[in-house]
């Protein structure tokens, strides 16, 4: 069982969605310069993010939590390689706020205005993984520019056909 399948199994349990591995989408968030993104290395970031999502179960260590915002449901998973957000069918507008908040909290902890993150969308459609183009988000941009870039990215898929059977 690969990491995507493990992540989806956790998400399916929390989302209470079909277990047929169809119609799921995820966004993986990784620092461009690498490094560990676990709770111990991003302690202030995860603490602030947990306050941001305080009405839900907090993200702990290498864990996952269900977030329901504005009628939308997401699972946020904490991984050493970077946070991942998984949804069933599509990403709505609430995910933009989650991603932006996480990036901003990370920027405050690192005290580095020039942080860059890579966001990669993956779709699981009819049991096959289709990976979309990744984007890079430079936190030295204005808040409005960052939000616009993430909004545009989370809209309809622009899929590159690179399939991998589950």
pLDDT in tens, 117-156: 999 988 877 777 777 779 999 988 888 999 999 999 988 6
Higher-scoring residue by pLDDT: 50, 1: 50
- Going from the C-alpha of 92 to that of each of 68, 87, 147, the distances in angstroms are 11, 9, 14
Range of the domain at 44: 3-165
Q: Does position 17 have pLDDT exceeding 80, yes or no?
A: yes
101-119 tens-digit pLDDT: 999 999 888 876 568 999 9
Residue 146 is predicted with a pLDDT of: 93
Residue 5 is predicted with a pLDDT of: 78
Residues 14-18: what's their mean pLDDT?
A: 89
Q: Ramachandran region of residue 135, left (φ > 0), alpha (ψ -120 to 50) or beta?
A: beta
41-95 tens-digit pLDDT: 899 999 999 999 888 888 877 788 999 888 889 999 998 989 999 998 888 888 9
Count of structural domains, the chain = 1
- Going from the C-alpha of 150 to that of each of 35, 76, 97, 104, 165, the distances in angstroms are 22, 16, 9, 13, 28
What pTM value is reported for the model? 0.84
Dig out the tokens for 61 from the structure: 């260590």
Q: How confident is the model at residue 1 (pLDDT cuts 50, 70, 90)?
A: very low
- Going from the C-alpha of 62 to that of each of 18, 50, 77, 89, 91, the distances in angstroms are 24, 14, 7, 24, 23
């Amino acid at each position: 069982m690969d990491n995507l399948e493990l992540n989806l199994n956790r998400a399916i349990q929390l989302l209470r969605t079909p277990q047929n591995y169809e119609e799921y989408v995820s966004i993986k968030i990784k620092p461009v310069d690498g490094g560990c993104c676990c709770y111990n290395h991003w302690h202030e970031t995860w603490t602030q993010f947990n306050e941001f999502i305080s009405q839900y179960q907090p993200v702990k260590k290498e864990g996952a939590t269900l977030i329901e915002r504005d009628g939308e449901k997401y699972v946020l998973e904490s991984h050493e390689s970077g946070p991942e957000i998984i949804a069933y069918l599509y990403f709505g507008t609430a995910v933009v706020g989650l991603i932006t908040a996480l990036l901003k909290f990370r920027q405050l902890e690192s005290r580095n205005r020039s942080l860059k993150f890579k966001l990669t969308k993956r779709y699981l459609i009819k049991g096959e993984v289709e990976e979309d183009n990744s984007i890079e988000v430079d936190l030295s941009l204005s808040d409005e520019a960052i939000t616009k870039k993430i909004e545009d990215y989370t809209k309809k898929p622009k899929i590159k056909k690179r399939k991998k059977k589950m």
